[in-house]
Amino acid sequence: MEEAEPTRMPLIGDEAPSFKATTTQGEINFPKDYKGKWVVLFSHPADFTPVCTTEFMTFATMEDEFRELNTELIGLSIDGIHAHIAWLRTIKEKIEYKGMKDVEVNFPVIADIKMEIAKKFGMVQPGASDTQAVRAVFIIDPKNKVRAILYYPLSNGRNMDEVKRLIIAMQKSDAEQIATPANWQPGDDVIIPPPGSCGMAKERVETKEDDKYCLDWFICFKKDKK
């Protein structure tokens, strides 16, 4: 009997693997059900674990903020649907953390006991655990392209503000054909793409515009009018 070929995790620029799944919000068909939207697909090691609980409460309280960015959240762990439901009910009824309480998780959480979806996305990494998914985040754009991948170890929670910031930055880059510098925050100056010729480089440095400035020929910024 031949061994099945290992599945390669999708990389930035790849099509996100399609799947159908049972979730806490019913059946979903990805990407069909999310056409035209950005998606944050994230995995967590297990239900009823402390780090995951703080993450889910934080994501849930930010769900409207992500929706304003045309972005939907999808969670996943290698647990059954009944474990998911019991855990989310416990979060709502019993857990208070950093002022968050009565938190209802309304985004779908995938039950992936057979690890089929987790393996498609490279969320199971044997060096960390062969029975739990690591803390993976896949940001997928409306064309179903993987745009960003973040991985965290089992022991450390994610920064949801960074996930949101990154989505805002990518959407801005797509809309305005610009790049964002280190530690960029909405409203900060952005980077103009480097010039394609020596003549353009000279012209850019010598041209004075109120909303643009250069540190050198290859690194020029413009102010965010918004």
Strand order in the sheet with 190-192: 190-192, 219-222, 212-216
Multiple choice CATH, 177-226, 3.10.110.10, 3.60.10.10, 3.30.1020.10, 2.60.40.10? 3.30.1020.10
Residue 67 is assigned to a ligand binding site: no
* pLDDT tens for the 226 residues of the chain, in order: 444 444 578 999 999 999 999 999 999 999 999 999 999 999 988 899 999 999 999 999 999 999 999 999 999 988 899 999 999 999 999 999 999 999 999 999 999 988 899 889 988 755 544 445 678 999 999 999 999 999 998 889 999 999 999 999 999 999 999 999 999 999 999 999 877 656 566 666 667 778 899 898 889 999 987 6
The CATH superfamily of 19-158 is Glutaredoxin (3.40.30.10)
pTM: 0.90
203/210 Cα distance (integer angstroms)? 15
State the catalytic residues. 52
